[in-house]
């Protein structure tokens, strides 16, 4: 049993192995490689880096780790013991946004940041918006236990997403136009989890037909790298029940939200 189950085996907990298309991708990348991604199948921060690797078509090894048990091979790369962590030869680093930038700087495969300096800054600014406002808003809404705060946090999340959608290229379907780039990848794991987690647990609405938001969501959901790194629905339902119930011992993210601190 895991600590978040509080001695109750009927409580669902996080999965330790990918399923569906994500499992196929794990299996394709199980061979030893100098570039190693330490990840956990349910983790949206991991999925960002994983999508980037897949979009760039880089060779890599995926290593599934339990970030709550913090195995030594993870701590060697990330002393904070969080996933994602990346090892490249004898060097290692962590933090999903930093790792996405590192992969960009390798200049191999498809570039996710545009070449124009102003568009690069624009992309970084809106990635910051996602990290500062949308990601914490997602957890605040999911963890909220009383109806009043659920309504409040649901509205706040919608408002922060609307700011991003209003800034996106008008014809899209992606943030900068017809190509999926850095900001889309930063946002993609939470787009996936709006439908797979917030919809069943908090009644998050289906995107309205014909809107700019809908065309973006559909384009992200259909992207080959997003699909290749997404597991079956049950994995998300099970893995997020602990957040939905705001159970003790869930994670550092959950504790940060409860105590009003910034996310780890
Ligand atoms: N800011 C980090 C957040 C990573 C993170 O919170 N990962 C979670 C899994 S989704 C984790 O490793 N949790 C371990 C813990 O809570 O002890 C990033 O962007 O990489």
- pLDDT tens digits, 121-142: 999 999 999 999 999 999 999 9
SS3 136: helix
Q: Where would I find the H helices in 168-245?
A: 182-193, 199-202, 212-222, 224-228, 233-244
CB atoms within 10 A of CB 41: 24
Q: Which residue's CA lies nearest to atom 13 of ligand 1?
A: 82
Confidence of residue 20 (pLDDT cuts 50, 70, 90): very high
Helix (H) or strand (E) run with residue 206 in it: none
Confidence of residue 199 (pLDDT cuts 50, 70, 90): very high
The pLDDT of residue 92: 98
Q: For tokens 């908090």, what's the residue?
A: 202
The angle that helices 117-129 and 182-193 make with each other, rounded to 10 degrees, is 20
Confidence of residue 81 (pLDDT cuts 50, 70, 90): very high
Confidence of residue 111 (pLDDT cuts 50, 70, 90): very high
CB 224 within 8 A of CB 181: no
The pLDDT of residue 159: 98
Tokens of 39: 């990840």
CA of 255 to the centre of ligand 1 (A): 12
Closest residue by Cα to residue 38 from 62, 21, 72: 62
SS3 87: strand
Confidence of residue 1 (pLDDT cuts 50, 70, 90): very high
- pLDDT tens digits, 92-104: 999 999 999 999 9
Residue 264 in contact with ligand 1 by CB distance below 6 A: yes
Residue 78 in contact with ligand 1 by CB distance below 6 A: no
Pocket test for ligand 1, best of 44, 251, 255, 259 (most atoms within 8 A of CB): 251
Tokens of 95: 């933090």
The pLDDT of residue 126: 98
CB atoms within 10 A of CB 48: 24
The pLDDT of residue 89: 98
CA of 264 to the centre of ligand 1 (A): 7
CA of 89 to the centre of ligand 1 (A): 23
Q: Percentage of the chain surpassing pLDDT 70?
A: 100
Mean pLDDT of the region 40-60 = 98
Residue 65 in contact with ligand 1 by CB distance below 6 A: no
The pLDDT of residue 150: 98
CA of 83 to the centre of ligand 1 (A): 5
Q: Percentage of the chain surpassing pLDDT 90?
A: 100
Q: What is the mean pLDDT of the chain?
A: 97
The pLDDT of residue 58: 98
| CA angle (77 as vertex; 192, 100 as ends), nearest 5 | 40
**Upstream peptide bond of 84 is cis (omega within 30 degrees of 0):** yes
CA of 183 to the centre of ligand 1 (A): 19
Confidence of residue 202 (pLDDT cuts 50, 70, 90): very high
The domains located in the chain, with CATH, are: 3-105 (3.40.30.10), 117-258 (1.20.1050.10)
The pLDDT of residue 196: 98
């Amino acid at each position: 049993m895991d600590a978040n189950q509080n001695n109750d085996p009927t409580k669902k907990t996080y999965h330790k192995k990918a399923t569906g298309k994500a499992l196929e991708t794990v299996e394709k990348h199980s061979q030893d490689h100098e570039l190693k991604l330490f990840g956990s199948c349910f983790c949206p921060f991991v999925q960002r880096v994983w999508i980037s690797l897949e979009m760039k078509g880089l060779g890599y090894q995926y290593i599934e780790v339990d970030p709550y048990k913090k195995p030594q091979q993870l701590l060697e790369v990330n002393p904070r013991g969080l996933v994602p962590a990346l090892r490249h030869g004898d060097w290692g680093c962590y933090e999903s946004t930093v790792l996405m930038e590192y992969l960009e700087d390798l200049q191999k495969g498809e570039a996710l940041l545009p070449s124009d300096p102003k568009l690069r800054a624009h992309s970084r600014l809106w990635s910051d918006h996602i990290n500062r406002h949308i990601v914490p808003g997602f957890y605040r809404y999911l963890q909220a236990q009383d109806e009043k705060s659920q309504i409040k946090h649901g509205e706040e999340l919608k408002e922060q997403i609307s700011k991003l959608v209003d800034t996106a290229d008008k014809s899209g379907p992606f943030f900068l136009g017809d190509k999926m780039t850095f900001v889309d990848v930063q946002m993609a794991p939470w787009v996936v989890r709006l439908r797979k987690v917030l919809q069943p647990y908090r009644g998050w609405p289906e995107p309205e037909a014909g809107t700019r938001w809908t065309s973006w969501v559909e384009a992200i959901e259909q992207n080959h790298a997003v699909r290749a790194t997404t597991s079956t629905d049950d994995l998300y339902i099970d893995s997020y029940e602990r957040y939905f119930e705001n159970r003790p011992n869930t994670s550092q993210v959950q504790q940060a939200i409860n105590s009003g601190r910034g996310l780890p």
